Amino acid sequence: MESISALFEEFSYRPRKSMGQNFLADNNIVEKIDKAINCPPGDVLLEVGGGYGVLTERLAKKDRLLTVVEMDHKLFAMLERKFGQTPGMSLIKADIMKLDIAPLAPPPPALLTVAGNIPYYLTTPLIIKLLTEHQTIVRKIYLMIQKEVADRLVAKPGSKAYGALSVCASYYSHVRKVADVPARCFRPAPKVDSAFVELEVKRELALSGAAEKRLFTISRAIFQSRRKVITNSLKFLGKPTDEVLAALAKVNIDPQIRGEQLTLEKMMELAKAFDI
């Protein structure tokens, strides 16, 4: 791969802080990431934010159909020059948050495997979009994200990092932190460390309909007032106190416990308990 400095000089390119552009420049980390990304035969690889192609080059060698999405026009030009004639690869200039990825998915039972090194500001909205809108067509998600967010994804009940994102991620997927990545591994170096994570999307979900919607309403209520006991947190539901107490009793939840101590399983039980 051509050096990042040589490419940026050729294209008169300067990473833009406003776009959160920090490019991975440590070959050892790239190697570790490459080994972690598992895309079964028949699946299509979808790279989010091709950048200058350091990960693209590795993904192109996995002998899978590969679609690369990049919205920056100069970075896209770099990708076109390097990979424009690569068999089995498609380049799309687009904002991933505005792009409908459904047409990119292969025919069932094959799925999309998503990978990328994304700007920090995209992390939470992209993960939520992929999990909630595209759960049926995405198999796994591999992302380089801010370490703080990675810690939230894998957080356990009662910890400071445990929150609504933790609940959402664990409801829709099995989350694993692959590696912590220090800021010095990027050019330019960001002010915070990163982590590479894997989210294996669940094929079957535990809830549906009103119960599923209520789970996330309960989760938001709990973490918007995380220091309150659960009976006070659940006032956000707009239900009579006796109905809330009855639902808590039905699933053996102490009404004086803080909601942040509840596991996903207990929150799901509570969500179903209101369906009387």
For the chain, domains (ranges, CATH) are 4-201 (3.40.50.150), 209-273 (1.10.8.100)
User: Could you read off the pLDDT of 147-173 as tens digits, one per residue?
Assistant: 999 999 999 999 999 999 999 999 999
What DSSP string describes 21-61? --EE--HHHHHHHHHH----TT-EEEEE--TTSHHHHHHGG
User: Could you read off the pLDDT of 170-195 as tens digits, one per residue?
Assistant: 999 999 999 999 999 988 888 999 99
Single pTM value for the model? 0.91
User: Could you read off the pLDDT of 73-127 as tens digits, one per residue?
Assistant: 888 988 998 999 999 999 999 999 999 999 999 999 999 999 999 888 999 999 9
| Alpha-carbon gap, residue 221 to 225, rounded angstroms | 7
